[in-house]
Amino acid sequence: MKDVLKQLARDLKAEKLRTFLTIFGIVWGTVAISLMLAFGTGLHKQLIKSTAGLGDRIVIAWPGLTSIPYEGLGKGRRIRIREDDLTAIRGNVPGLKAVSGEYSNNMKVVYGTKTLSVDTSGVVPEFGTMRNMIPQMGGRFIDAVDYNEQRRTVFLGNQLAKDLFGTTPAVGKMINVNQSPFLVVGVLQEKDQDSNYSGPDDQKMFIPSTTFRALTDKKYVDNFVFQAANSDDTKQVIKRVSAALGKRLRFNADDKEALGMWDTTEQFKFFDVFMLAFNAFLGIIGVLTLVVGGIGVSNIMNVVVEERTREIGIKMALGAKQRYILGQFLIETMLVTFLGGAIGFAIALSVCAVFPKLGLSQYVGDPVVSPLVAILTSLALGIVGLIAGYFPARDAARLDPVVAMKL
- Which residues form the interface with other proteins (CB under 8 A)? 2-3, 7, 10-11, 13-14, 311, 314-324, 398, 400-402, 405
Pair 192, 362: CB distance under 8 Å: yes
Smallest separation (angstroms) from other proteins to the CB of 316: 6
Residue 319 or 359: which CB sits closer to other proteins? 319
Residue 316 or 384: which CB sits closer to other proteins? 316
Smallest separation (angstroms) from other proteins to the CB of 339: 19
Smallest separation (angstroms) from other proteins to the CB of 329: 16
Smallest separation (angstroms) from other proteins to the CB of 388: 23
Residue 58 or 316: which CB sits closer to other proteins? 316
Smallest separation (angstroms) from other proteins to the CB of 324: 7
Least Cα distance to 177 among 223, 136, 116, 132 occurs for 116
Specify the DSSP element, H or E, that contains 164.
helix 158-165
Residue 360 or 402: which CB sits closer to other proteins? 402
Residue 247 or 321: which CB sits closer to other proteins? 321
Residue 2 or 357: which CB sits closer to other proteins? 2
Residue 19 DSSP symbol: H
Instruction: Give the 3-state secondary structure of residue 278.
Output: helix
Pair 152, 214: CB distance under 8 Å: no
Q: Report CA 168 to chain centroid distance, whole Å.
A: 32
Q: Number of C-alpha atoms within 13 angstroms, CB side, residue 349? A: 10
Smallest separation (angstroms) from other proteins to the CB of 299: 22
- Taking the C-alpha atoms of residue 27 and residue 384, their distance in angstroms, rounded to an integer, is 14
Pair 259, 79: CB distance under 8 Å: yes
Instruction: Identify the bridge partners of residue 260 per DSSP, sorted by sequence position.
Output: 62
Cα separation values, 208 from 40, 65, 218, 319, Å: 40, 27, 13, 89
Least Cα distance to 196 among 50, 361, 43, 49 occurs for 50
Least Cα distance to 108 among 215, 265, 195 occurs for 215
Smallest separation (angstroms) from other proteins to the CB of 355: 42
Residue 286 or 392: which CB sits closer to other proteins? 392
Residue 68 or 405: which CB sits closer to other proteins? 405
Residue 135 DSSP symbol: B
* Other beta carbons within 10 Å of 401: 17
Specify the DSSP element, H or E, that contains 70.
none
Smallest separation (angstroms) from other proteins to the CB of 333: 18
